[in-house]
Amino acid sequence: SSGINAEWPLRPGGKCAIIIASNDVDKTGASYYGQTLLYFISIRGESNQIVLKKNGPVYSVEWNPQRDEFIVLYGFMPCKGTLFNVKCDPIHEFGENHYNEILFNPQGNMVGLCGFGNLRGKIKFYDTENNKLLSDFVAADATFFEWAPCGDVFITGTLSPRLRQDNEFKLWDVSGKILHHYQVPTDETQLWQLMWINPATLLPPPVVPRPATSKEIAAGKPQAYRPPGSRQGPAAATRSLLPNVQGGVYKPGSDAQRNQPSRQAQKNQRKRENRAKQIEDEKNAVPEPTMQDLQSTIVDEREKKVRNLKKKLHQIEKLKGQVAQGKTLEKNQMDKIASENDLIEEIKRLEL
């Protein structure tokens, strides 16, 4: 049996849509992997089949949020990327590469063609005004992408449950420069979601940077893939905190100033340090003996001496019993018997 699936990417405003229709089996026998067809429909009753120039699945269809045009990624890898107008005519070819996502910024003047998930994280940004290439770089191990409301910076993340180790997020600009990088402390901590706080209204379009030169693109070519565990460490971040965005424009500000903790934070830190030192001193301090402790020590010493003296008297009683039985004793044993009266007097003195 064959299953038929359909998706409806709507044009912002809801006046037209693209239908992505796919089935698991191609009855014509042209493809083992099934068949995918695209159709355009509008509320005025218009409909067209969109002709694709390469066989294979359709990975993504996205409308430009501000224009009557859309991009399709389709065909077996490396897939093709094509820009269409509302008449379903192809108006620009982006070439072939390993992509599976199309990401327009909110203002619609820049778009990224990306390969995330099971792909390496390839990203190419284009100016939608003239479809010129702006940058070409790799965001390795990215499973998440989202534009900032200002439209000129974006965030990528390595999130659970897709990848449960080396979770992190990075803030980038469209040139491929890392503005901020945060990596979770240990593998026991997992990052599940990232979200921008969106403004109530759309911010004005950001200034599109100049297109990247061929030399800059060549310098940004990816190196041989290394798994996350074998890397020396995260890429150096140029800024340690999120940038300020005002009126859709990035304001870098002072990194040294942003890194400086507030007065209240410094005060709290000093309090914690002083408290920790006080606790440590209390642990190591040796208490001075009280009068009660001294008296108790003296009493204990007396009792100990009395017990020893009584123990000697008990030994003398045993020796005297041996003499009564006619046994001959050694000189030191006779001396011990002779000291009996002295021991008795000493016990009396200690028990006073």
Own/partner contacts of 154-163, CB < 8 Å, gap of 24 or more, are 154/103, 154/105, 154/112, 155/194, 155/196, 156/121, 157/191, 157/194, 158/191, 158/228, 159/191, 159/192, 159/193, 159/194, 160/190, 160/191, 160/192, 161/192, 162/117
Task: Name residue 339's amino acid.
Answer: S
The pLDDT, as a whole number, for residue 3 is 47
Tell which wins on pLDDT, 255 or 166: 166
The pLDDT, as a whole number, for residue 237 is 39
Tokens linked to 210 = 């100049």
The pLDDT, as a whole number, for residue 82 is 92
Tell which wins on pLDDT, 6 or 320: 320
| Range scoring the smallest mean pLDDT among 20-34, 63-77, 218-232 | 218-232
Which among 203-207, 218-222, 295-299, 341-345 has the top mean pLDDT?
341-345
pLDDT at position 242 over 50: no
Tell which wins on pLDDT, 318 or 203: 318
C-alpha R_g of the chain: 43
Q: Is 22 in contact with 37 (CB distance < 8 Å)? A: yes
Tokens linked to 2 = 């064959």
The pLDDT, as a whole number, for residue 225 is 54
Q: What is the pLDDT of residues 169-200, one digit of tens each?
A: 888 888 888 888 888 877 677 778 887 777 66
**Band (160; pLDDT cuts 50, 70, 90):** confident
How many C-beta atoms lie closer than 10 Å to residue 102's C-beta?
A: 21
